[in-house]
Structure 1
Amino acid sequence: MKNTLLALLLLSISFSSCAQMRIKREKAAQDTAQQISTSGTSNAPAESSRRSIGVAQQFIRDLDNTNLALDIVLSKHVLVQDADDEMYDYLMASLAEIRLNLQSKRLNEIRFVPYADMSRKDVADIDPEGMNTADMIFLYYGKRQLTALYVEKNKIASFTLVSKGNNRAHFVTY
């Protein structure tokens, strides 16, 4: 009797996990189909990532150029909407910190990695909150992450990942 109950329990667990995997596969297929239908092309996420990487690379090049004032970098590259003086001060300080961090790096060794190419472990704690993940770019120098960027309207909409509790983080736009 115990062996029969154990066998039934194991069978029900395996059927349950198979059903869950099938549901996840179907959901992923539906998401992909929806992306294709809304974008008109199945290559849209990759194109969006390439464009976002280009925006991020130009931002980093200009930020690394100490002859270019930070307020110029801010106005040229950062998407700011309805910011007050305190927000501008924060953005300038953050840009100065990133610039300082870049000074000890070789720009040609910085890797620009789109969200889609990140391991699940590395993005498990990031909540996209409806943002286009194709426009999320993570900068690495060696094995260390330098910063994460979110690109919108061909500008940097965020270089700030903030904890939102429950071991989750999200991009804050300006």
Structure 2
Amino acid sequence: MLSSANKDNRYQEISSDIDHRTNGYISRTESLIKKTAAAILLIQRALASGIKADYVLMDTWFTTEPMLKEILKTGIDAIGMVKQLKQRYFFRGKAYTLPELRKFVSHEYAANIFGSLVVTTKERIPVKIVVIRNRNWKSECLYLLSTDCSLSDAEIVRIYGNRWSIDVFFKASKSLM
């Protein structure tokens, strides 16, 4: 559970009477950190507790270069959807946006997966961008990113598809609680 970093938005401040060694105090202070830092903390704790993972699946909110860098430090790869913002990826020595990279992928005879490119981020992290059809808007594409460039396009799409069932589970769980 995270709290707002803005004091005006918090329901109640941490009491100064709480012993700083307790789990309650530690949880309260951790609730004030940024979402991305909290996500990395959760990943580190899961790995430390013995949970084995090959990939971290992320939506567009978390698929950012700083987050990818931190996830790679944990020794696992990341797969996530990427927003079409101003970020640039380097391909053949030049910087391109996602729509510009799309031009390098052949769309002829493609069903739902148009193709992929291995590019690097600004910090020179090699990633594979998979261009797929947007089922809701046929004229647009969606972009999946994987730090494991050895995976096939279909495998990246299949693994990312697991995120949907996780989202449905969380929504059902939250509505029942």
TM-score bracket for the superposition, by shorter chain length:
under 0.3
- Larger helix percent: 1
Higher relative contact order (CA 8 A, sep 6+): 1
TM-score under structure 2 length normalisation: 0.26
TM-score, normalising length: structure 1:
0.26
